[in-house]
Chain A
């Protein structure tokens, strides 16, 4: 399988790498445009979205990344990553890739003192919890955006086509169901792309 690319400008990209490798998925850290070739998927990690935006521009990644995000590859975006994908960002308003039809408020649950672990409801195993850190709050979403999980009524796990976006951090926990969900998306995509791969996979299993 081709590596999944993890935006490694700033933030918890190493934790995403460890979470993918634990599922046997190869990873590549993305810092310059040449790193974007031949990927099976993309991860936009947690961190400071305003810092990442500046570095995306400085590193010449903004334009090629936009094209890659629009190409239909599976994408996992967590926390700051979700902010980078939103159609509209407030408090303060800032630029974004605009691929996910949501309006999002930065630090919408408050400062670090409001961070913590909360129970989710929705299409995840009962009792699934997740850690929210200075998390963004989704205020509005378009009709094409599926809501997969909520925290006290707020949408916090969203999907639109190949894009999976979370306000929280599955990468900070071992075996979080959202990580498994993204791994399944990566494998399904890899298998549909190369007809040989399912056979190879079976041979490996035998």
Chain B
């Protein structure tokens, strides 16, 4: 909610302006998962602020199993040629060569994503070395700050992608908010202890304690399936929403896409939300997160 002061620990002024500044432009918009140029055109026509190019939406990755990797460059380029809005794409956690490849393709933003099969169990991509901004998922404030310290210019909740169940996104958004609130008024020693626990520099933690927000835009993802889900995440403090399987696994994708775009702009207006939610057809089929075996929980990847 404030103009970003150029001094964010670990970021150069240029990075704050052009990388974080890019992410600011997406606020209040919807970023939609698309798997081909035709879906990208539908997303843009519905008012998406950006598209995320990937081979399979998370619910299919879940169903198919196997190793999920970065998308075919040809498919990404077809989408880039199709739309004028920003095009993002995903890389496996720690797969810096997939990231180099996406930067060479000039994608506008790279999502280092737990939805794909992790490539490195110890390290994430060193994101500062890239000119392209990165977005990363988190489940709580510690994860968010580790990713920001590595150079992420935007943070999103992990949620539990491909389930159509918003409960995990809510949990993660609340965890980030309560983590920030808990830093309020903390003395220097406690901050140092907390920073050690989070494995981040105390300067970054202090910045968050004093500003009472993340230094980068805070979006939501993972399980958003309806306009009401999107508005829920916005009311909980998300600045924008990623929608994965929720659009192209619903019975009328174009209509669902338009409705979610409207819901994000009108997230504080229940009458408008009721109007928007009428007659949308079937939302994507959902999964109970509690019924998933632990090794199928994507949010546990890359913490």
User: Could you list which residues of chain A lie within 8 angstroms of chain B, going by C-beta atoms?
Assistant: 8-15, 17-19, 22, 31, 46-48, 50-51, 54-55, 58-59, 79-80, 91-92, 106-107, 110-113, 115-117, 131, 133-134, 169, 171-174
CA distance A116 to B46 in the complex (A): 29
Count, chain B residues at interface, CB 8 A: 43
In whole angstroms, what is the CA distance A17 to B262 when docked?
A: 22
Is the CB of B70 closer than 8 A to any CB of chain A?
no
Q: Which residues of B contact A171 (CB under 8 A)?
A: 3
Cβ-defined contact, A112 with B265, below 8 A: no
Contact with A along B11-29 (1 / 0, CB 8 A): 0011001100110111111
Contact assessment for B3 and A22 in the assembled complex, using a CB-CB cutoff below 8 Å: yes
The B contact surface, by secondary structure, is loop
Given contacts A11-B28, A12-B27, A79-B25, contact A51 B261 (CB under 8 A): yes
Q: Give chain A nearest CB distance to B35 CB in angstroms.
A: 21
Segment 249-267 of B: residues with Cβ below 8 Å from A: 258, 261-262, 264-266
A34 shortest CB reach to chain B, Å: 12
- New A-B pairs, 9, CB < 8 Å, besides A22-B3, A51-B29, A55-B47: A11-B25, A12-B21, A13-B27, A47-B27, A51-B85, A58-B262, A112-B106, A115-B18, A134-B25
B 1-47 contacts with A by CB, 8 A: 1-6, 13-14, 17-18, 21-22, 24-29, 44, 46-47
Give chain B nearest CB distance to A83 CB in angstroms: 11
Q: Do residues A113 and B131 form an inter-chain contact, with CB atoms below 8 A?
A: yes
Given contacts A14-B1, A18-B3, A111-B106, contact A47 B266 (CB under 8 A): no
Tell me whether A111 and B108 are in contact in the complex, defined as CB-CB below 8 angstroms, given that A50-B44, A174-B5 are known contacts.
yes
A10–B29 CB distance below 8 A:
yes
Is B192's CB within 8 Å of the partner chain A? no
Say if the beta carbon of B137 comes within 8 Å of chain A.
Answer: no
Query: B1 touching A51 by the CB < 8 A rule?
Result: no
